[in-house]
Amino acid sequence: MIEGLDFGILVVIFVSLIISITIHEAMHAFTGHWLGDDTAYHEGRITLNPLKHVDPFATILLPMITLALFHLPLLAAKPVPFNPNRVRFGEFGAALVGLAGPFTNLLLALATAGLINLFQASLSFSILNVLATFLIINIGLFVFNMIPIPPLDGSRLLYALAPESVQDFMASLERMGVVIIFAIILLVPAFGDWLGSINMSIVNFLIG
């Protein structure tokens, strides 16, 4: 339902991304604090101020590049710091911190889909296009961040379930994980197409 990459839709995409990643990162920080780790709190990350969460390249430039290449905005925000040794419930607490971000995006997408389904007949095409863009971006953030490769959020769930040997291997990928993911996306176009297919399958399920 994103009709084109003209200036208007780029503005909608940009604003949707900023809102979505800001809430995503703030929920990471809030969940970590709720579970006993005050690292993000002391760095001022429990906030809806986007300037605290945005990385100029990974949050703004990168999604524009991947949108042009794959018709799917992929991005990363400034990571929310947390100490997994300080959260309650050990690895499962760390998994909750990790999952808080993408599942917040999923909830935002579900709420947006509900608005579209309830009021589609009475909303203008422009408003529907804005809502659909916000929906697609939040599903994209959910799908991308659930890839179980460190440091993406989905890896925290794998950490909680995997044996120690696998955890050690994942920890070795922590610094280079995002580079590996984007290298795969750029060098293996079918992977980006696969992510886009999953994204649109979920969107179509939610709003037909």
Active centre residues (catalytic): 25
H-type alpha helices, 44-163 = 62-70, 90-119, 125-145, 154-161
Cα 157 to Cα 160: distance, rounded to the nearest angstrom: 5
Residue type, 61: L
Contacts of 38 (CB under 8 A, 6+ apart): 86
Which residues lie closer than 8 Å to 84 by C-beta, 6 or more apart? 37, 90, 91, 93, 94, 97
* Residue 123: DSSP 8-state: S
Closest CA to 75 of 64, 86, 90: 64
Q: What size, in residues, is the chain?
A: 208
